[in-house]
Structure 1
Amino acid sequence: MDENAIRALMARHTDLWIRHEMDEWGALFTEDSDFITHRGLWWRTRAENVAGHKDVPPSVLDQKKNYTQDVVDIQEVTADVALVHTVWTWPDHRLPGAPAEDRRGLITFVLVRTPDGWRIRAAHNTRENGLTDFTATAT
């Protein structure tokens, strides 16, 4: 496993996300990749993932400069599969008409080695402080 190549992929992932270069960002994923959003949407292809992430209000795009993502763990599953965990923060995130909030969370990535280098096969994004988004209460 080439940890430096994986870290470089994740740094590029973050940079393209911040710049909202979603087509280039999408190229970091396999065609059949899965992405589960922090709200529980499950996109099952690269195309669905990119389209879903392009659909962002312009006001949110301006805030992406505040986003950070750091690799906190890389584990080799096999020589061609890696498990990567990142921590992200997004201070002063503001949806249209809503107050600003400091968001943070974790993303679990499954990376696979392809002829073109490491690519993201699956990602699961979880908000660490997202419970207040839901109005339903447990009974």
Structure 2
Amino acid sequence: MNEADEREIRDVLARYTDLWIRHEMDGWGALFTEDCDFITHQGIWWRTRAENVAGHKDVPAPVLAQKGNYTQDVVGVQAVTPDVAIVHTAWSWPGHVPSGSAGPEDRRGLVTLVMTKAGGRWLIRAAHNTRADGFPPPAGASG
């Protein structure tokens, strides 16, 4: 992969993070192909840009107010072909208070993305978000 392509990929992911933090989901969605796949950290699978954007817009106001604590860093870019790349990012959301929670959680995770170059532009074709800090046990679960 040449330096210009890697720099453009990193720029796309910087815009991705900025737009996500500001909750500008229509602009964020424009970074994805129309036929993108997005698997959330909860295992929800959206199969189009429209589903992905709609799902990410549906966020309670108290969660939106906390997005400023979120960070994401590109930790790897690897070319598969000249027009396809695998990208890994690491994200962190310290002090996140989920809806209905009694207290804050320090969340972190990884996102694996497949990016494709079409029309001279890198877009996200697929993304899989995985929490690396684990999930709390279901209510009433023991052990």
Q: Structure 2 length normalisation: TM-score?
A: 0.92
Partner of residue 112, structure 2: 108
In 1: Cα distance, 2:134 partner to 2:92 partner: 12
Q: Of 78, 82, 85, which residue of structure 1 is paired with 2:81?
A: 78
Deviations 1:16-55 (A, max 9, x none): 0000000000000000000000000000000000000000
The residue type equivalent to 1:12 in the other structure is R
Q: Structure 1, unaligned stretches of length 5 or more?
A: none
The residue type equivalent to 2:95 in the other structure is D
Query: Equivalent residue of 1:104, what SS?
Result: strand
When the two chains are superposed, the root-mean-square deviation of aligned CA atoms in Å is 1.4
Partner of residue 68, structure 2: 65
Identity %: 66
Q: Structure 1 length normalisation: TM-score?
A: 0.94
Alignment of 1:1-139 (within 5 A): 1=1, 2-98=5-101, 99-115=103-119, 117-134=121-138
Post-superposition shift, 1:134? 4.0
Runs of 4+, deviation exceeding 6 Å: none
Aligned pair count?
137
Cα distance 1:116–1:52, how it changes in 2: closer, same or farther (>3 A)?
farther
The residue type equivalent to 2:79 in the other structure is E
